Amino acid sequence: MEIQVLAVPYDSGNRGVRMGAGPEALLKAGLESALREKGHRVHTKIAELPANSWHAEIQTSFELMRMLSSAVEGAVKSGRFPIVLAGNCNTAVGTIAGLGAQSTGVAWFDAHADFNTPETTASGFLDGTAVAIITGRCWTQLAATVPGFEPVPDDRVCLIGARDIDSLEGGLLDQSAVEVIAPRQLRSELSRFLGSIKQRVQEIYVHLDLDVLDAEVATANKYAVAGGLSIDDVEYALSRIGNELSIAALTLSAYDPGVDTDGAAATAAIRLICAAARFASRA
């Protein structure tokens, strides 16, 4: 299979720091070689903003989304499976836009719901609004500047492994039709969701924030918390998703090599990326 790796090495508009260091760290850790050993042909592109441009979290993040939308669309047209390595989860807006939201579902693996809005967030962290943007709840004017973006209907979105959810954010989720599967419910609830969603979509976008893993399994970033999924759990979920729907694209996000002191998170990331690639729609 032809794979297009798209690295977006930015965190909150800053290049190569914290989780923004993750994409290139995974490349250095041997991701491309691991994919080639599985028989894939790998092409890699690293997103770069002008060095002299002003970098502000909101402005820069949406500029990266616009760049990524075009890159993903180009990869799909070339018959390549897009694998996005991203510092921030909000890059998913660009990936989904490049795929075309009209027929795409979303499987969102994350310890957090990313469902805050500017009115509910207590941290002010833009990345905590990613799923709210995707479903059309906030930043609508800026999201509309991302080529191809349309909000994804709630009933096409599933949060898998979420366990660290803010109070006001949880209230928004309760009022929505977004599915939430807690870690302990994975094996009982995932099949039910897939049986429902495959009546509405043909493909699914898989978003894998590495902190979905239990912090005792791997420390992906400073937001990692206990009670998460094992690597085997995520592989199981990827296989179930891939058996029911084609995986249209994959994002691996939020890996901070600075806190991965034993390399376990990088090893897990590469293993899970290779697993997801087995079910790619362009395989």
Give the count of domains, the chain: 1
Q: Model's pTM, two decimal places? A: 0.97
Question: Which residue spans within 21-169 are E strands per DSSP?
Answer: 41-46, 81-86, 104-109, 157-160
CA dist 179 and 189 (Å) reads: 10
Residue 85 lies in a domain: yes
- Is 185 a domain residue? yes
Q: Give the tens place of pLDDT for each residue, 1-29.
A: 999 999 999 999 999 999 999 999 999 99
Please report whether residue 121 resides in a domain: yes
Alpha-carbon Rg of the chain, whole angstroms? 17
In a domain, 282, yes or no: no
Q: Which domain holds residue 71?
A: 2-277
Note whether residue 250 is domain-resident: yes
The CATH number given to whatever domain includes residue 16 is 3.40.800.10
* Cβ neighbour number for residue 171 with a 10 Å cutoff: 13
Query: What token pair was written down for 244?
Result: 């029911």
Q: What distance in Å separates the CA atoms of residue 30 and residue 91, rounded to the nearest whole number?
A: 23
| Residues 74, 162: Cα–Cα separation, whole Å | 32
Parts of the chain with a pLDDT under 70: 101, 281-283
Asked, for residue 268, whether it belongs to a domain, the answer is yes
In a domain, 283, yes or no: no
